[in-house]
Structure 1
Amino acid sequence: MSGRINPSAAALDDGKRRWTFAELDDEAARLAQRLRAVDCRVVATLMDNSPAWVVADRAALQAGLVHVPLPVFFTPEQIGHALGAAGVDTVLTLPALAARWPQVPAIECAVAGQPLAMLRLPARPVPMAAGTAKITFTSGTTGSPKGVCLSEAAMQRVALALVQAMEPLDIRRHLCALPFAVLLENIAGVMAPLLKGATCVTLPLQSLGLSGSSSFDAERFHEVVVAQQPNSIILLPQMLRAWAGHLIQSGQRAPDSLRLVAVGGAAVGVKLIHRARALGIPAYEGYGLSEGASVQTLNLPGSDRPGAAGRALPHAQIRIAQDGEIEVAGSLFGGYLGSDAAAPAWWPSGDLGRIDDEGFLHIDGRKKHLLITAFGRNVSPEWVETALRSENAIAQAVVFGDAQPALSAVLWPLRPDASDAALQAAVDAANAALPDYARVRSWVRGRAAFSVEAGTATANGRPQRVTVLQLHADALGMTAASSIDPEFS
């Protein structure tokens, strides 16, 4: 704990009780001792947001263990793969979730006042990058997500850079609105605020209106924000879109306590940024990779360009390769779990972009998603999708058109009662701002919500293009196995 942090200041607040920094350290030390006593090497957490999760994360670092945060929305197959791939020997989870392992005795374990079950699994050590302190699993298109190995030093550098960059904002109270198992909230929403001495509001996600990975009740969320009066929040674009839509519909504004609402995970769009700010939401877009320990660039008050992803944070370096691919350096991961290949000095992100004369990064889409129409025009689907999602009626959009004469799209409305006419008007408005070769000529309504549970989206809201195409190929008049790369994420 930093010497400038008051030990009696509130570190965690779960809406019922506050834990001081001294109490947090004591809880973490006790759990670290208990984990060492059972000869734990790799510990996984499978639980909702809570003070207990934060304690477990800190305890793993103190004990020199590898922490594997698992999202509760992962499928049983994904959880099983992660446990085996990482050589997890201990699982900390809720008693109800412990029933997934009926053959394993559950040891009662209370952490930060929350009853947990400690499960000891038969596991063999697995090779991983030297210095690995955390393994974060990306939610890919299959049941076998990739494990990204991160060192404590890399994560600390990112957290310290965020503290340094946001010092003028004097963030004192951060509302955690994303799952802690998602690296963005883990580092930017927990590690960074605690390093500064701020309070993390750690409410169960359902109480915030977030159910599963992508069902979001914006009305409930706004009520909590008003009640908790945070200075900062991290949101995914679809959460910001829904919140802004609710405020417009209800004639309300965001509370004045907010100083920064960081938005990442996918492209946001200029219209949504301006709409949010007009409603009192200080929305600022950022960019980052799990392979770079979460965040590389961020717009901030005084250093802001809506439509761009911000300037590089103090820990990060950004450059553009000859083919337009964004490459990052600084605080990189050690390597993928199960691979002998170490990360190079500059990591190829897979994203296309450019850096303008003032150092702001602009994202143009995924390198492998680039569409080439039947007329030979190169189109980034993310560019068109961002334009579509910038319209009030559309919550999510996936654009297709490789080797086709025109682009088509699958749309999911912001409100379930949105009419076809309203969606068409939104498409027309988006098309008006696009060149003719990038306009959507036909569209269909989504047959399933964009969610991890449906297999149509990742945890950060990016569409699973293969699944979406398979579900709608007949309606789009396309072949499901056309030219889609099965590794799309």
Structure 2
Amino acid sequence: MSVVTAASGTEPVEPQKVLVDGRVREVSVPALVPRVARGSLADLPYDNARQDPEAVLFSRKDAEGEWVDVTAARFAAEVHSVAKGLIAHGLRPGDRLALMARTTYEWTLIDFAAWAAGLVTVPVYPTSSAFQTRWILQDSGAAACVVEDVEQARMVSAERRQLPGLAHLWVLDAGAVDQLRRAGARVADEAVTARRGLLTPATLATLIYTSGTTGRPKGCALTHANFFAEVDNAVRLLHPVFVSESKEPAATLLFLPLSHVFGRMVAVGCVRARVRVGHAPSVEGEELLTDLASFRPTFLLAIPYVLEKVFNRARATAERGGKAAVFDRAAEVARRYGRTATPPLSLRAARALYDTLVYRRIRDALGGRVTYVICGGSPLGARLAEFFAGAGVEVFEGYGLTETTAASTVTPPRRPRTGTVGWPLPGTAVRIADDGEVWLRGGHVFAGYWDAQRGTALPYTDEGWFPTGDLGSLDEDGYLRITGRKKDILITSAGKNVAPAPLEDWLRAHPLVSQCMVVGDDRPYVTALITLDHEGLTHWRRMRRKDHLALWELARDPELLAALQRGVDDANRLVSRAESIRAFRVLTTEFSETSGHLTPSLKLKRRAVLRDFARDIEEMYGSEGARP
């Protein structure tokens, strides 16, 4: 059914489907590589140094802001010296080392050094609160913690009385890496070799705590085998991404948090495939654009939010220059081109014209060399996927969870189907349960949730299937479509089931919208809370000369409300009348992680939003503007 590019050429991969009552209820794709039978991720730096010592694995910024290459030999030496330092401080095999920092070279260095010392790494989001950090350190039983800066060190130090097992605290900005190297100078090299020798594919590699939209986060126990199953099949499947087919060697700039499984998986995959990696600590503003321009990656991993920002910024720039109509025509041409298997000559000619006028600028914003984007975290949406494909950037959209070491499905090369999250990653099976829940099985599925009392992972099922909590369906060709979360399904007072995700994802792509939450549980109809995007709102105010208006005045401005209503009307075309948004409220505050309304991975904490904006919700249902 499809052609998958592999290291040796092209191999057909036929998804195996199981039909029930004429509908596809299960689909699987055989693994492209055998399971790793021995060793661990700790061996990767050493294997790379032995096989290709001069290969460039990383580039890191020096004091002048220039990118300096790090070879495989140098990385292995640095990993080895830091691993010796961890051993020198008395950390034992299996001890947990927490790591709290932004996306930096040191993050990846300590990750691999901890593995080489036989430790288990526990990532903590750098934006986590004191309570969240203490909970993760307590539950994981962390014996040591590495933080980025003094402020984080003070926060952890303030919790030390409740963390009796935390013996060590190191600060990267205070020279933690050099301190560990110096401490390790007295440790024999053989000590690291012995620690590595204790590790097997089944050994626990990391505990990654879920974001926790409700309740306390749970630790997902991922083994070295889980990572190998994930990255080896992904690298082979997406061969053109990880092994460049052009004159430019494959390279990527990591800017998503390495504390999230998505970024972590790609980081490990790049070391495995010897792809040059740079680290960017910021996902916002000019700093990231500057890093992209100077690093010039060939592919990126991103969440839809990033691609939405790139598109909306380009649209705003065109509007400021009086070329909004040109941009809109170019966007429509790109979408038509992106969804057409064999574009006619007229469409190819139009695309060539707009490539110079518009699309090249989009690619330049990503660094100028980006050909592929691996996108996950939430649905991208057909409009953006088609646009970027038409603009010369192929998007591989995937679906997965922390429990599945990131991707469980991915867009098959040269066979995209917009609106879906692709086929099962090779080595993976997908099943749709009777109630529509998506179940997953494969070597990348985690060992279980961490049990702090027993100090081990508890298996999640008896048969190997992991129930995700997501709802979805499989089409006749085995492509998976995600329709929402089971726990997020709204049931109106009329008994209509409503999945909020499609409406919310569509509205979040609007240039004026930052976040959106659909409401309607046990209500007569569906409504929405909307927060405004700062950058999009600034541009809108400037273009309409409304800079003098305060935010509370803008939230009631008829012209702004009309623009948002058009976006709501567009979103409503996705659903039936009974599921459509009848009224919305523009909030003058933002949903954020700091406010307690978003998780670190930008997922809505619905209970917190419902609690804190209860008055706004009641006023929507009592307002005359509602359209039942």
TMscore range, shorter length: 0.7 to 0.9
Q: Give the aligned residue type for 1:363.
A: I
Sequence identity percentage: 27
State whether structure 2 residue 362 is matched by structure 1 residue 253. Answer: yes
Q: CA deviation at 1:275?
A: 3.1
State whether structure 2 residue 421 is matched by structure 1 residue 309. Answer: yes
The residue that corresponds to 1:122 in the other structure is none
State whether structure 2 residue 257 is matched by structure 1 residue 179. Answer: yes
Q: Give the aligned residue type for 1:62.
A: A
The residue that corresponds to 1:426 in the other structure is 567
Change (3 A) 1:143 1:474: same
The residue that corresponds to 2:343 in the other structure is none
State whether structure 2 residue 137 is matched by structure 1 residue 137. Answer: no
Instruction: Trace 1:442-453 onto structure 2 (pairs within 5 A).
Output: 442-453=583-594
Q: CA deviation at 1:478?
A: 7.5
Q: CA deviation at 1:425?
A: 1.8
The residue that corresponds to 1:228 in the other structure is 295
2:363 alignment partner, SS class: coil
State whether structure 2 residue 450 is matched by structure 1 residue 337. Answer: yes
State whether structure 2 residue 275 is matched by structure 1 residue 201. Answer: no
State whether structure 2 residue 360 is matched by structure 1 residue 360. Answer: no
Q: Give the aligned residue type for 2:530.
A: L
2:476 alignment partner, SS class: coil
Change (3 A) 1:221 1:236: same
Q: CA deviation at 1:403?
A: 1.7
Distance 2:55 2:174 in 1: 20
Q: CA deviation at 1:154?
A: 0.7
The residue that corresponds to 1:324 in the other structure is 436
The residue that corresponds to 2:532 in the other structure is 413
Change (3 A) 1:6 1:450: farther
Tell me whether 410-419 or 67-76 shows the greater mean CA deviation: 410-419
- Asked whether the equivalents of residues 510 and 567 of structure 2 are also in contact (C-alpha less than 8 Å), the reply is yes
TM-score, with length taken from structure 2: 0.68
Change (3 A) 1:461 1:349: same
State whether structure 2 residue 47 is matched by structure 1 residue 12. Answer: no
Change (3 A) 1:279 1:420: farther
- Asked whether the equivalents of residues 257 and 263 of structure 2 are also in contact (C-alpha less than 8 Å), the reply is yes
Change (3 A) 1:429 1:143: closer
1:137-165 Cα shifts (integer Å, max 9, x gaps): 11213673211111111112111111111
Distance 2:206 2:255 in 1: 21
- Asked whether the equivalents of residues 98 and 117 of structure 1 are also in contact (C-alpha less than 8 Å), the reply is no
Distance 2:429 2:594 in 1: 35
The residue that corresponds to 1:486 in the other structure is none
1:126-184 Cα shifts (integer Å, max 9, x gaps): xxxx8322000112136732111111111121111111111133241011020111111
Q: Give the aligned residue type for 2:258.
A: F
- Asked whether the equivalents of residues 146 and 171 of structure 2 are also in contact (C-alpha less than 8 Å), the reply is no
1:343 alignment partner, SS class: coil
The residue that corresponds to 1:243 in the other structure is 310
1:16-57 Cα shifts (integer Å, max 9, x gaps): 322111111111111112212222121111122221111111
The residue that corresponds to 1:192 in the other structure is 269
Q: CA deviation at 1:396?
A: 2.2
The residue that corresponds to 2:499 in the other structure is 380
Distance 1:109 1:33 in 2: 17
1:332 alignment partner, SS class: coil
The residue that corresponds to 1:471 in the other structure is 612
The residue that corresponds to 1:402 in the other structure is 521
Find 1:274's aligned residue among 386, 393, 397. 386
- Asked whether the equivalents of residues 245 and 392 of structure 1 are also in contact (C-alpha less than 8 Å), the reply is yes
- Asked whether the equivalents of residues 236 and 460 of structure 1 are also in contact (C-alpha less than 8 Å), the reply is no
1:256-310 Cα shifts (integer Å, max 9, x gaps): 5112211111122111222333444433321001111111111144131111011
Find 1:152's aligned residue among 224, 234, 237. 224
Distance 2:72 2:174 in 1: 15
TM-score, with length taken from structure 1: 0.87
Unpaired runs of at least 5, structure 1: 119-129, 211-215, 481-489
Find 1:90's aligned residue among 144, 155, 160. 144
Distance 2:225 2:169 in 1: 33
The residue that corresponds to 1:349 in the other structure is 468
The residue that corresponds to 2:8 in the other structure is none
Find 2:86's aligned residue among 35, 38, 49. 35
Find 1:80's aligned residue among 126, 134, 140. 134
Q: CA deviation at 1:420?
A: 2.3
Tell me whether 78-87 or 137-146 shows the greater mean CA deviation: 137-146
The residue that corresponds to 1:127 in the other structure is none
Q: CA deviation at 1:58?
A: 0.7
Change (3 A) 1:112 1:263: farther
The total of aligned residue pairs comes to: 458
Change (3 A) 1:31 1:479: farther
Q: Give the aligned residue type for 1:29.
A: H
- CA RMSD of superposed structures (Å): 2.6
Q: Give the aligned residue type for 1:426.
A: G
- Asked whether the equivalents of residues 398 and 409 of structure 2 are also in contact (C-alpha less than 8 Å), the reply is yes
Q: CA deviation at 1:375?
A: 2.2
- Asked whether the equivalents of residues 55 and 112 of structure 1 are also in contact (C-alpha less than 8 Å), the reply is no
Find 2:411's aligned residue among 278, 284, 299. 299
Q: Give the aligned residue type for 2:104.
A: S
Distance 1:156 1:111 in 2: 34
Change (3 A) 1:479 1:86: farther
Q: CA deviation at 1:95?
A: 4.7
- Asked whether the equivalents of residues 381 and 399 of structure 1 are also in contact (C-alpha less than 8 Å), the reply is yes
Distance 2:170 2:520 in 1: 54
The residue that corresponds to 1:168 in the other structure is 240
Q: CA deviation at 1:338?
A: 1.8
Q: Give the aligned residue type for 1:338.
A: D
Distance 2:215 2:135 in 1: 7
